[in-house]
Amino acid sequence: MSYRALVIGEGIAGLAAALAIAREGCVSICAPSNGWRRGSTYRAQGGIAAALGEDDDESRHLKDTILMARGLANREAVQILMEESHKAVAPMLEAGIFEMTNPSHPTLGREAGHSRSRILHAPGGLTGRALARHFYQMAVSHPRIHFVEGFSEKLIIDDQGRCHGSWIRTSSSDVMAITASATVLASGGYAALWQMTSNHPFSVGHGLMLAYDAGAELSDLEFVQFHPTILSQDEPRGEALLLTEALRGFGAHLVNPHGERIMKDHPLKELAGRDEVARAVYEESEAYLTLRHLTPERIYAHFGQLAELLSARHFDLARDLLPVAPGAHFAMGGVCTDSFGQTRVPGLYAAGEVANTGVHGANRLASNSLLEALVFSKRIAEHIQKNLHLPGDFPTTDPPLLHETASDAEILQRLGNIMDKDFGVIRDPHLMNQGLRHIEALQYRYNHRILRLCRLIAQSALLREESRGAHFRLDFPASDVKWAGHLVHSLSMGSQFRPA
């Protein structure tokens, strides 16, 4: 079959791109079995930001986004995000996904860094599940979308450097080629390289390295957002439960073991930027989220599904002190794209968390990422429809040798908590150097894709001698104008600094 596009990944970015491209042509989606549940989309708890309140507009949303990005946002990309935000959420409002205050007004939540209440969310609080299910159901019943169970292991690149699809390892371990006019990487971020993470264990940045090996540029890898309130329990990588910021928007407090509010001196209290709250929580020996001062019935009515997840872990959302710690949550860094999701490799696009559109800069504004995935996936589809008229078929020879020296699970086990300890919320130069040496030693032994990405992240964190957004260094605790730009990595040019 000749495909208009191969989409790699079935989170919101992949599904939204596939549905938009399928209006005109056939699409193949490749993802592991149950892939729509094995990524960040399914886990999203807050919702989607859109300036729909009477006291709000896109220019306010834009201002908040740019402010949070700490000097590194691409203004044009943010402007596009704002201009297309209302159109992007309209079909979901029509489909009845979001909680409504009355039949014509959605309920708007408040999250950190937003100057207005503007977070659309599903009833019960687990918005990602509702969105993922909605998009997945539309895609599986679409006659022009074909699902392939498997992992993309290598992109198919011709002698001129153009991408024609991917080699896929199927669930039965065979290797097959899927070729297409366009390839859309939508494989999610890399926050699961850290042991304490809100992400699914598959979010280890495979897509970034597929693109890098094909000639694309990666940038801003040192910027990883740490969420301040992950339920702190001894759990395996990828199983920790996030306690959404919407709880703080609802009035929850962060307290130390003496019951004192951790954020009491900040003008925005618990709704200060995520970077600031994460550092404050990190510096406490123990920190707790509490809703004890609020009415239990209102809490259960608003966050019923989250309360159930907590109850399964023997916590009562309304009555218990909930132990929290910061954990890696969202990757601002990714594959560099233009405003139509194009990477530097012709025929290769990137959407969602794997991409770096420039919207988030050094620090993402909460609930802007689902919106970004929707807006830029649609633009990718438009670009493909207008500009790509190549046949989907491309002759391939025998599959290349694809085996890595060890499984992801083994590499992650060897990596342990190096990223948390040495490249965490507060970065110490001695620990970073030690961490880089550890990673290099592991890489020497295994030369695995995951370790190559860790090394690029470590090098970026060491090179950026300042603190900005999510990247905080003990030895350079302030921002420095000379670092107002991006660290960009590619196979052909190595690592470069590019002024913003």
Ligand X SMILES: Cc1cc2nc3c(=O)[nH]c(=O)nc-3n(C[C@H](O)[C@H](O)[C@H](O)COP(=O)(O)OP(=O)(O)OC[C@H]3O[C@@H](n4cnc5c(N)ncnc54)[C@H](O)[C@@H]3O)c2cc1C
List residues binding ligand X (CB under 6 A).
Answer: 8-14, 30-32, 35-36, 38-41, 43-48, 127-128, 151-152, 186-188, 198-199, 202-203, 206-207, 242, 329-330, 352-354, 367-370, 373
Q: Which two tokens stand for residue 169?
A: 């390892």
Residue 240 CA to residue 326 CA, distance in Å, equals 11
Residue 155 CA to residue 62 CA, distance in Å, equals 35
Considering beta carbons, is residue 272 or 450 the nearer one to ligand X? 450
Least distance from C-beta 420 to ligand X, angstroms?
16
Q: Which two tokens stand for residue 383?
A: 């670009």
* Region at 121 (left for phi over 0; alpha for psi -120 to 50; beta for the rest): beta
Choosing from 38, 70, 248, 274, the catalytic residue is 274
Q: Which two tokens stand for residue 367?
A: 């609930």
Q: Which two tokens stand for residue 127?
A: 């918005």
Considering beta carbons, is residue 79 or 198 the nearer one to ligand X? 198
Considering beta carbons, is residue 327 or 347 the nearer one to ligand X? 327
Cβ–Cβ under 8 Å, residues 137 and 130: no
In order of 354, 370, 476, 498, the CA distances from 483 in angstroms are 23, 28, 12, 9
DSSP structure string for 383-418:
HHHHH----S-----SPPP---SS-HHHHHHHHTTH
Q: Helix, strand, or coil here: 228? A: strand
Residue whose structure tokens are 């203004």: 75
Considering beta carbons, is residue 12 or 381 the nearer one to ligand X? 12
Name the DSSP letter for residue 364. Answer: P
Considering beta carbons, is residue 56 or 408 the nearer one to ligand X? 408
Least distance from C-beta 6 to ligand X, angstroms?
10
Considering beta carbons, is residue 197 or 467 the nearer one to ligand X? 197
Residue 170 CA to residue 217 CA, distance in Å, equals 27
DSSP structure string for 105-119:
EE-EE--TT-SS--E
Least distance from C-beta 454 to ligand X, angstroms?
16
Least distance from C-beta 466 to ligand X, angstroms?
25
Residues 6+ apart with CB under 8 A from 490: 212, 215, 216, 217, 218, 344
Considering beta carbons, is residue 327 or 435 the nearer one to ligand X? 327
Residue whose structure tokens are 């006019």: 181
Residue whose structure tokens are 């042991």: 195
Cβ–Cβ under 8 Å, residues 330 and 200: no
Least distance from C-beta 32 to ligand X, angstroms?
5
Residue 50 CA to residue 108 CA, distance in Å, equals 9
Least distance from C-beta 40 to ligand X, angstroms?
4
Residue 4: active-site member? no
Least distance from C-beta 205 to ligand X, angstroms?
9
Least distance from C-beta 377 to ligand X, angstroms?
8
Considering beta carbons, is residue 25 or 341 the nearer one to ligand X? 341
Residues 6+ apart with CB under 8 A from 403: none
Cβ–Cβ under 8 Å, residues 21 and 140: no
Task: Report CA dihedral (330, 336, 339, 342) to the nearest 10 degrees.
Answer: -120
Residues with catalytic function: 274
